[in-house]
Amino acid sequence: MKRVVIVIMVAFMMSASVSVFAAETTNEQKDECLLASKNCQNSVDSIQQKIKKLQTAIQKGDKVYTPDEIKKLNDKLKDTEDMLDKMTETN
């Protein structure tokens, strides 16, 4: 009887850990901080770093992001590049 209970508990624990692992994998592939400003704890990047992260995310393409998300990332990239241009502009 103890073995049956232990087997059931182990099976339950394994199934719970698989779903958590799947959620973590999705978050690692899709950069929620860039996309929707979620999960950005302790994330302070320079403008150049943000541009590089956006370019990397866009390169992942439709394997990771929807077309709407890619458009949003492209818009953010353009805005960030414009901001950098304004900051480095000499009058």
Helices (H), 1-91: 2-29, 32-36, 47-60, 67-88
Residue-wise pLDDT for 12-50, tens only, equals: 566 555 444 444 445 556 777 777 666 676 667 788 988
- Higher model confidence: residue 82 or residue 8? 82
Longest dimension (CA), the chain: 82
Quote the pTM value.
0.60
pLDDT for 81 beyond 80 = yes
pLDDT at 78: 95
Alpha-carbon distance of 33 to 57, in angstroms, equals 11
pLDDT > 70: what percent of the chain? 62
Domain limits, the chain: 1-30, 32-91
User: Tokens 């995310």 — which residue?
Assistant: 57
